[in-house]
Amino acid sequence: MTLETPKRRNRIAAGWAGFTLLITGLLTGCQSIPHRTEAEQDLSPPDWDIEIAAPERLQAEALALFIRGQLHDADGAYEEALASYQRVIERDPGADQAYFRAALNLFRLNRDDEALALLKSLVEQRPGEAQPLLWLSAGYRQNAQLKEATEVLAEALSVAPRNEAIYLQKVEALFQLDQSDRAVALLRQGIERSTAPLRLQRVLGELLMRTALLSEDREVRAQATTEAIELLEQVLEKQPNDRVLVLGLADLYLRTGQIQSALAHYESAAQLDPTDANVRERLAYLYERLERPEDAIRTLNELARLQPNNARVFYALAALHEEQDNRAQAIEQYRRAAQTGRPDPAPYLKLGVLQMEDAPEQAVADLQEGLELIPNHPRLLEMLGYVQFNREAYREAADAFDQAQQAWLELEPSRDAMTPNFHLYFALSHYFADEPEKAIPVMEDALLQNPQAIEAFAHFVFQDEREDRSHSAIEILETLLVDHADSIELWSTLGYLHSFHEDYEAALDAFDQAYTLIEAAGDDASDHASSRFYFWYAAAHERTEKYDRAEELFYRSLEMDPDNAEAYNYLAYMWAELGINLERAESYVQIALEARPESGAFIDTLGWIYYQQGRYDEAYTEIRRALDIIPDDPVILDHLGDIYYALDQLDQALVKWTRAYEQDPDIKDLATKLREHQPQPDPDPAVDTTPSDETDAVDEDED
């Protein structure tokens, strides 16, 4: 008898379940101990009803003992069961089921050697039969003797070469021996030889499916995919209701990019089990990918009925509605997602984005609700800041951004954790809240995170209607330059801001600093040496009457962007103002007009060139057209006044000059023209120079 040590007991306990599963299929339906005939060389056990009389060879006493052994098995009395089966064998040595059950109980009692010896004796008694060989191979595998198990299975295949079950057992043993290539070859052999190879086809198909999904070799993947699909589809034809197989094929099609085939199989799986939520989810994904939003929404609605507490379903539904511009339904579904399941910031963030423009107060309320459920969540606080900024509640925005920053630093003390525009909008909130001193350190952080943030900052400043506040932006930049004197972005942006405020000397100084840094950096400054930069640099030179340098810089701008219509127009206008290069100026403005034929400024330039060329009628036509596009533009009004004067229509000239003066009294020479040609001695703005209604009427008629 084999001694049972603690270590051995553990091994047996761990391995017993596997062995029982292995042989359970071989015993299904076995209620007796009949003999195997030559025609029964497969693994299917004979059906036996205990009420049917046993074969003649089986004595009544042996049958009673066999049933008694089964009862002991059921009670876990393995010693008693073994004794019963041994007595059956003594009375009927041909009772092969008794051999097997006796061996089974010997294994249970850790008497492995005796079990194997008993099964070997059965093999000797049943030469040419597969079943005893299968039982012996199972015993070897239970005892971890895999090599011996495969040898016995090879003998079984020589006896029953068409038996599918033998192939399957040997394949399993070969895999346990890490001989996967031999196992695959054996499966192919079994498919060719077996009379019913469905299980072999399925096993091989699933093995190839795994290869198709895991192999790093593209050709191997492609070949394995093709063969796996072919095999598994053949099995599916004969087992169309096998849902596991349908899903396996659907997954394979999906992972290999065969979307239409994947969809068809998932639809089949959904029909086989309408309650499977995972299948519905994949169907919705595929419908969306195939641009079938209605089907995707329908499927997700079905899934929502199956899983009413699944927030992900409502979120996916909302996203689909959002893509379809169904804003109201998207908001409804995001709200359901927010109110379902565990608190999640994602739907609240979406509610903030979708309602920011049209319903900012509701967006604030939803975000605050989210913050009650998820206190101090940095993303929710940040979104609240953006919403407050958008509704021009700048102090509230700054407070939200400040709380968000504190929350981020507690979670992850790194600027990288924040979104790229976080500090920019934080600084802008302080700026618009008239807190420039608080904006400065935040802009420091914005520049560290993204050096281009200063240009975006300036973009907002350019649109600020309060000129006094926009001057504070210049102070912010000048303060930042104390520690960032080598920043091309800061110097160039300072130049843009000074140009915006028409302080061209200061703009020129800032642009000079930026240009020096650009030249020193060479190719490393290519992102900063833009056509836009040279355009504004040139404009600052023109406004400070440095015309030769302005011309050089305008050409530099055009070299970098040959389609820069503004540069063509500005250079043409500068020449027209100077009365030089008028033919070239005309050709340049025509290039600009090809790009923007309805630009009032470009049309005015063309008319002014005609004026400088003495072509007054053509000049009048173009300037009038420009004024129709940009009514009350002081420069165009001044030009039209000059044209009237050249056409000897002084009254009309005075009307236009006066209207131009009302719009911009600083236009060069305008006050002088009025003073020289007005009947009044002094064109002081306090003096009412507005033309009478009668004069206006004459002007409109003549125009």
Query: Cα separation of 578 and 558, whole Å?
Result: 20
Query: Cα separation of 9 and 343, whole Å?
Result: 50
Tokens of 82: 């073994």
Closest Cα to residue 176, out of 207, 149, 156, 197? 149
Query: Cα separation of 637 and 661, whole Å?
Result: 9
Tokens of 333: 């579904």
Cβ-based burial of 691 (10 A; exposed 0-12, middle 13-18, buried ≥19): middle
Query: Cα separation of 31 and 68, whole Å?
Result: 12
Taking residue 647's Cβ as centre, other Cβ atoms within 10 Å add up to 14
Low-confidence ranges of the chain (pLDDT < 70): 1-59, 413-417, 680-703
Residue 682: per-residue pLDDT: 54
Query: Cα separation of 235 and 205, whole Å?
Result: 9
Q: Please report how many Cα atoms fall inside a 13 Å half-sphere around the Cα of residue 463, on the Cβ side.
A: 6
Query: Cα separation of 94 and 98, whole Å?
Result: 9
Residue count (the chain)? 703
Query: Cα separation of 321 and 328, whole Å?
Result: 8
Taking residue 79's Cβ as centre, other Cβ atoms within 10 Å add up to 11
Cβ neighbours of residue 64 closer than 8 Å, sequence gap 6 or more = none
- Report the amino acid identity of residue 603: I
Residue 417: per-residue pLDDT: 64
Residue 414: per-residue pLDDT: 58
Taking residue 413's Cβ as centre, other Cβ atoms within 10 Å add up to 8
Tokens of 423: 């500090």
Residue 14: per-residue pLDDT: 33
Residue 26: per-residue pLDDT: 30
Closest Cα to residue 451, out of 482, 486, 479? 486
> CA angle 362-365-368, nearest 5°?
150
- C-alpha dihedral, 267 to 273 to 276 to 282, nearest 10°: -10
Q: Which residue has the tokens 């802008």?
A: 428
Query: Cα separation of 210 and 255, whole Å?
Result: 11
With contact defined as beta carbons under 8 Å apart, do 46 and 144 qualify?
Answer: no
Taking residue 673's Cβ as centre, other Cβ atoms within 10 Å add up to 20
Residue 523: per-residue pLDDT: 79
